[in-house]
Amino acid sequence: MGKPTGFMEYERVDARAINPLERINNYHEFHTPLSKEQQQLQGARCMNCGVPFCQSGMEIMGMTSGCPLHNLVPEWNDLVYTGNWEQAYLRLKKTNNFPEFTARVCPALCEAACTCGNWEDAVTCRANEYGIIEHAYEQGFAAAREPRVRTGKKVAVIGSGPAGLAVADQLNKRGHSVTVYERDDRVGGLLMYGIPNMKLEKWVIERKIKIMEAEGVSFITNVNVGKDIKASKLLKEFDRVVLACGAKNPRDIKVPGRDAEGIYFAVDFLKATTKSLLDSELADGNYISAKGKKVVIIGGGDTGNDCVGTAVRHGAASVVQLEMMPKAPESRTADNPWPEWPKVCKTDYGQEEAIALFGHDPRMYQTTVKEFLKDKNGKLTGLVTVKLENGRDEKTGRIQLTEVSGSEQKLEADLVLIAAGFLGTERYIADAFGIKLDARTNVETVQGKYSTNVDNVFTAGDMRRGQSLVVWAIREGREAAREVDESLMGYSYLPVQ
């Protein structure tokens, strides 16, 4: 694939990011796409590997290596190199329903497993994926294609995040009539309200939803299944129901002072900002403002970083991000060889912006909260942190974090955002359908299956596997759709990879 000597002739060139101090003045995406000529040269760097780990999607040491969707990366890189953009789009769409989303928000597992990356810089797979899908929209390749034949079968999908959308897209292509229910006012789930606009502008979602509607998928918003409409009604009206409601129970920080005014979950902070931005360009003031405030974010993952970037755009006076784990090394260590996912320090866009604005990294490693402080009126004034050190549980051998005695420190804060992850399925939707949950409060299914303990009810995405990546949600949606289709028709030719 590509040019046999391309990886030796051309250096990696990725989409350029706008300067942090410039991009924090708005909520737009901030990468300048490569030109068609640059993309073709980047496609030429693909090495024609004997074993293309980029598309493997394997689990190695508990981490995913390569694309869980098994995207045919070498094939569409070659097609980009030769200028065959329509065929590149068709190969990309064989495995990925929504490259317009993944090209923007996926952490590029394919690039981490690229053979080129074992020796020098990986191929710019994500930038080429972006180029393929956006060119397809420009040229009309991505236009709506309604199924020619309908089966007469009806499927309800509850939740319009990436898993739910993938289920709906696949089953609609098969000819089933699909209705998607979404409790929020806009379709998209975490894509719409969980991911900030500067990572994924919402017109990108709306563009795809319009195509899906033109292809026959129905979307019903502002309906909370299990509360506004009974599960029994859906089970009566539809042949199958697929639950793709996500893992939306935020993990709390239960320490003294938690009831102080000024402490919010990250998901509420991010959702309110995006909704106000879309409704009124923030003019309505219906969001949790960080303007002029001393902000502390508890959690060092992607959601915590999104909070950093959003708080900076609000005009926060300062931003601190607490991370329980030690700082990762700058490069791979001997016990983390390629093609494992690289456990290295990543400075993401929000942290880059905080560094540019405040002059220092906002992250405090191996630190957690011991107490929230409040004034006589109950308003948050700060918090007490404590340092952590690594140890090991003698019985299990697992890493165990313990407090360092005497390491307490006070931090001033007007606003605290808890970005400590999610615990699993919201109980009310599980109870409404009578489905069983496992010990992690995810929907219980047989290993590798998507059917629940309730006849004709299936599940997919974070609701089944726990909090994960968009690419995993899409894969789950595709696999669940095939299982649903087989249960309806007795067989299925829907691909999962």
Using DSSP bridges, classify how beta strands 31-32 and 16-17 pair: parallel, antiparallel or unpaired: antiparallel
The confidence score (pLDDT) of residue 157 equals 98
What is the pTM (predicted TM-score) of this model?
0.96
The confidence score (pLDDT) of residue 496 equals 73
Task: Please check the confidence at residue 49 and state whether its pLDDT lies above 90.
Answer: no
Q: What is the pLDDT of residues 141-192, one digit of tens each?
A: 999 999 999 999 999 999 999 999 999 999 999 999 999 999 999 999 999 9
Say what angle helices 302-314 and 266-280 make with each other, to 10 degrees.
Answer: 50
Domains of the chain: 6-139 (1.10.1060.10), 154-248+423-489 (3.50.50.60), 263-418 (3.50.50.60)
CA distance 429 to 318: 39
Q: What is the pLDDT of residues 249-308, one digit of tens each?
A: 899 999 999 999 999 999 999 999 999 999 999 999 999 999 999 999 999 999 999 999
Task: Please check the confidence at residue 386 and state whether its pLDDT lies above 90.
Answer: yes
CA distance 97 to 106: 14
The confidence score (pLDDT) of residue 1 equals 61
CA distance 273 to 287: 5
Two tokens at 266? 């990250």
The confidence score (pLDDT) of residue 497 equals 64
Percent of the chain, pLDDT > 90?
92
Q: What is the pLDDT of residues 399-426, one digit of tens each?
A: 788 999 999 999 999 999 999 999 889 9
Q: What is the pLDDT of residues 92-110, one digit of tens each?
A: 999 999 999 999 999 999 9
Task: Please check the confidence at residue 134 and state whether its pLDDT lies above 70.
Answer: yes
Distances (CA, A) of 8 to 2, 45, 456: 12, 8, 54
Task: Please check the confidence at residue 371 and state whether its pLDDT lies above 90.
Answer: yes
Task: Please check the confidence at residue 391 and state whether its pLDDT lies above 90.
Answer: no
Residue for token digits 């709306």? 206
The confidence score (pLDDT) of residue 50 equals 85
- The model's confidence at residue 444, banded by pLDDT at 50, 70 and 90, is very high
Task: Kindly state the average pLDDT of the residues 317-341.
Answer: 95
